[in-house]
Chain A
Amino acid sequence: MWFASRLIGALVLAIVLGLGSAYVSVMSLRGAHTIRNGPWTTSLETGGTDAGMYMRAFVALTGLLALNKDETIYYGATRDSSGEPLDGACAYRIEGRDPDARWWSVTLYGTDHYLIANPSNRYSVSRSNVTRATNGTFVIRLSATPEPSNWIATSPDGFQITLRLYNPSETVIADPAAAPLPSIVKEACA
């Protein structure tokens, strides 16, 4: 009886330690392989085939079925350009010029990683439908209140932004941290 209870206790402890250390080891790659570009972060490991077992597990958890970097680079943002976390009670503007890629899109997701429900079904703005100023720059507004163009709906529960670059240029692939990307600027808060 004594032996059995000790054995069960030891097995439970070992499983907890094994699973816990596995999770910590895998998720610690987030910092080690994250490339920062202003408020945007990305990883070139996503979608690759040369990943080790830890990186493969990390990609499975965070970027399943993503394309490799030659096809698409995925930048994410959970903070604005001043480093503050994105707040669902605030409006923001994304401003800049077209990223150096064949095609790009800015999409908002809720904290559950799904598209944000809104009456206008406006989830993204892209190279195809963005309205630009005469000098080529654009401003995309993120808010709960609809606007006629260059607008994406936010969620009061919080949101995150994904910037997709399809067929990015060789320059972007070589140095995604230095690629000119739009900034994210906080405006009014409710």
Chain B
Amino acid sequence: MMRWIKWSAFVAIVATVVHYAAVTALPGMIMWRVMGQAAAKGTNTIVHTERSTAASRAIVKPSPDLLYSRCIYDVTRTPLKITTAAPTGTYWSVALYAANTDNFFVLNDTGAKGRPATIIIVGPGRIVPPQPEGTYVVSTPTPKGLVLFRTLLNDDAREGEIDTERRTASCETLRPAGARESM
């Protein structure tokens, strides 16, 4: 009898550990897979994808009305400087996702007053030198993550123009790196 109680307790403890480990690790594992595929085309550099069609398989439920661009970032050593495009007469946004999937920052065309914006992503516990006024300095909760640019194709006749405009966005490492701060 005692033996069965011990085995049952063992199973319960291990099952509890597996339960919490699985729930905690799942978002990171899914994001790691997505970022791993995307990082094959480079880290801290922007990649522009073509308009989604029925053949698109990069992400589930892509919007056929949006043009997507992305940067896989790693700010472990140096911050990342993002310069947005500002296509005219349409919605655009840039969204920052941490490695645990959290969408921790969004800026859209209205927030940027229709002008190109500069965003600096800083690693946890790091600072950057003073930046020009209007620059968004954002601290990422995880050193690695993903930047997703969305540009709305609200007029098929302007697809070429909007596509050209959105390709002026960029991601590049910012040097020199900032000094450490206590947070």
A residues in contact (CB < 8 Å) with B: 6, 10-11, 13-15, 17-19, 21-22, 25-26, 47-49, 51, 53-54, 56-57, 59-61, 64-68, 70-71, 102-103, 105, 107, 109, 113-118, 121, 123-124, 126-129, 162, 164, 166-167
Q: Does B177 contact A (CB under 8 A)?
A: no
Interchain nearest-CB distance for B182 vs A (Å): 23
Interface of chain B, helix or strand or loop or mixed?
mixed
Residue of B55, B64, B148 with highest tally of chain A CB at under 10 A: B64
Q: Report chain A residues within 8 Å CB of B63.
A: 105, 107, 124, 164
A residues in contact with B10, CB < 8 Å: 10, 14
A136 to B50, CA, bound (A): 33
Q: Which residues of A contact B12 (CB under 8 A)?
A: 14
Q: Which residue of A lies closest to B17 (CB)?
A: A18
6 further A-B pairs in the complex, CB-CB below 8 A; given A18-B15, A164-B63: A10-B11, A56-B101, A59-B101, A65-B101, A71-B95, A124-B64
Asked if B14 contacts A113 (CB within 8 A), the reply is no
Q: Give the docked Cα–Cα distance between A21 and B12 (Å).
A: 12
Q: Which 10 A-B pairs have CB atoms at the shortest separation, nearest pair first?
A: A18-B18, A14-B14, A117-B54, A60-B27, A113-B60, A17-B15, A22-B22, A18-B15, A123-B64, A14-B15
What chain A residues lie within 8 Å of B110 (beta carbons)?
167
Known A103-B152, A113-B61: A60·B14 in contact at CB below 8 Å: no
Contact yes or no, A60 B101, CB < 8 A: yes
User: Do B61 and A109 touch across chains, with their CB atoms under 8 A apart?
Assistant: yes
A99 CB, nearest partner CB in chain B, Å: 15
**Docked complex Cα distance between A117 and B95 (Å):** 29
In the complex, what's the smallest C-beta–C-beta distance from A80 to chain B, in angstroms?
A: 20
A170 to B146, CA, bound (A): 28
Highest count of chain A CB atoms <10 Å: which of B13, B55, B65: B65
Across-interface contacts of A17 in B (CB, < 8 A):
11, 15, 18-19
For the complex, give the distance between the alpha carbons of A117 and B57 in Å.
12
Chain A contacts of B23 at CB under 8 A? Answer: 22, 25-26, 53-54, 57
User: B178 an interface residue at 8 Å Cβ cutoff?
Assistant: no
Point out the residues of chain B lying under 8 angstroms from A70, CB to CB.
Answer: 106
Assuming the contacts A56-B101, A67-B106, asked whether A22 and B18 have C-beta atoms less than 8 A apart, the reply is yes
**Shortest CB distance A23–B (Å):** 8
B27 touches A56 (CB 8 A): yes
User: Which residues of B are found within 8 Å of A71, using beta-carbon distances?
Assistant: 93, 95, 106, 108
Residues of chain A within 8 A of B57, CB atoms compared: 114
A21 and B64 contact, Cβ closer than 8 Å, known pairs A15-B14, A60-B26:
no
Task: Report A-chain residues with C-beta under 8 Å of the C-beta of B100.
Answer: 56
The minimal Cβ–Cβ distance linking A14 to chain B, given in whole angstroms, is 4
Asked if residues A115 and B26 are in contact (CB atoms below 8 Å), the reply is no
User: Which residues of chain B have C-beta atoms less than 8 A from A10's C-beta?
Assistant: 7, 10-11, 14
B31: CB under 8 A from chain A? yes
What residues of B have a CB within 8 angstroms of the CB of A11 in the complex?
14
Provide the bound-state CA to CA distance between A70 and B111, in Å. 12
B91 touches A13 (CB 8 A): no
Is the Cβ of B31 less than 8 Å from the Cβ of A21?
A: no
CB contacts (< 8 Å) of A129 on chain B: these are 156
